[in-house]
């Protein structure tokens, strides 16, 4: 998506704290407020204005909560498959398939969780990730290899488990949606992990915005349906 968007925007593709190739702090609590503060700090330090925030999954939640905190800087928000409905540890990811439910469930167990997380490999990662796709065979090898490489960084398993452990913070983020002043385009893959009721609840929290549904698309719409998602960003 980035090459296409870069033809029309100056694009800042942020690796969230502990994710991608950002630094890892094993003492940090990787919950929604922590990630939000990092994005807010990034925007303020670069003094960015007239911003279109685009995010998917927890990034979609952050696009909304950052917009609620910096209303004067945000022009519009594109929020795809907001991950704001967890009712237990790793709830959303665990809805993907049996392996995801079993493995992520083990992460929550003290001591045992750290051991299980350390055993994660590329094969298991690929199966778990495909739980977020409608088109199960469409997981680019280079993308999966990058996820695997990042997951092997020292301290990353702490980040992973801490992000899941902060599940309540992602659900609580909905309380900030009413403060969003910018226009919001709310998108869901037809086969996203969220239920229809959960999607409608998020739409109501945003003042009753219309929901755009991408057919034959799962949670990772940037993989499943990148062309349509890019089109929506460019036309909204």
* Residue 76: its H or E element: strand 74-80
Which CATH number do you get for residue 158? Answer: 3.40.50.1820
How far apart CA 52 and CA 236 sit, in angstroms, is: 10
Max Cα-Cα span within the chain:
48
The number of domains in the chain is: 1
Residue in the structure block whose two tokens are 């913070």:
169
63, 55 Cβ separation under 8 angstroms:
yes
Alpha helices in the chain (DSSP H): 2-5, 32-45, 58-69, 91-94, 98-107, 112-118, 122-130, 141-151, 156-165, 167-172, 196-205, 221-224, 226-235
How far apart CA 166 and CA 33 sit, in angstroms, is: 10
Reduce the DSSP state of residue 102 to 3 states and report it. Answer: helix
User: Which whole-number Å values give the CA distances from 39 to 16, 180, 216, in the listed order?
Assistant: 8, 16, 31
Q: What pLDDT is recorded for position 123? A: 84
pLDDT, tens digit only, all 236 positions of the chain? 999 999 999 999 999 999 999 999 999 999 999 999 999 999 999 999 999 999 999 999 999 999 999 999 999 999 999 999 999 999 999 999 999 999 999 988 887 888 887 777 788 888 898 999 998 777 788 888 998 999 899 999 999 999 999 999 999 999 999 999 999 999 999 999 999 999 999 999 999 999 999 999 999 999 999 999 999 999 98
How far apart CA 182 and CA 65 sit, in angstroms, is: 11
Q: What pLDDT is recorded for position 77? A: 99
How far apart CA 188 and CA 214 sit, in angstroms, is: 6
Residues sharing a CB contact under 8 Å with residue 41, sequence separation 6 or more, in sequence order: none
Q: What pLDDT is recorded for position 108? A: 85
- Count Cα atoms within 13 angstroms, Cβ side, for 218: 19
Virtual torsion, Cα 66, 139, 224, 160, nearest 10 deg: -20
Q: What pLDDT is recorded for position 136? A: 74
- Tokens read off for 155: 């301290």
Range of the domain at 60: 2-235
Taking each helix axis from N to C terminus, what angle separates 58-69 and 32-45, rounded to the nearest 10 degrees? 60
């Amino acid at each position: 998506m980035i090459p296409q968007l870069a033809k029309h925007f100056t694009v800042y593709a942020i690796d969230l704290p502990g994710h991608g190739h950002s630094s890892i702090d094993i003492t940090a609590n990787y919950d929604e407020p922590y990630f939000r503060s990092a994005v807010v700090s990034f925007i303020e330090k670069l003094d960015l204005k007239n911003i279109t925030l685009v995010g998917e999954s927890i990034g979609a939640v952050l696009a909304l909560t950052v917009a609620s905190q910096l209303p004067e800087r945000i022009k519009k928000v594109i929020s795809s498959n907001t991950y704001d409905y967890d009712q237990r540890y790793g709830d959303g990811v665990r809805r993907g398939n049996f392996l995801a439910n079993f493995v992520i469930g083990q992460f929550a167990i003290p001591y045992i969780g750290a051991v299980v997380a350390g055993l994660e490999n590329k094969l298991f990662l690929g199966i778990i990730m495909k739980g977020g796709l409608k088109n199960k065979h469409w997981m680019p090898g280079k993308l999966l290899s990058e996820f695997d490489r990042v997951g092997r960084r020292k301290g990353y398993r702490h980040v992973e488990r801490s992000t899941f452990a902060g599940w309540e913070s992602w659900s609580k983020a909905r309380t900030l949606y009413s403060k969003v002043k910018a226009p919001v385009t709310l998108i869901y893959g037809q086969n996203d992990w969220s239920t229809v009721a959960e999607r409608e609840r998020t739409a109501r929290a945003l003042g009753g915005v219309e929901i755009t549904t991408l057919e034959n698309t799962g949670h990772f719409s940037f993989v499943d349906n990148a062309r349509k998602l890019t089109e929506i960003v460019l036309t909204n």
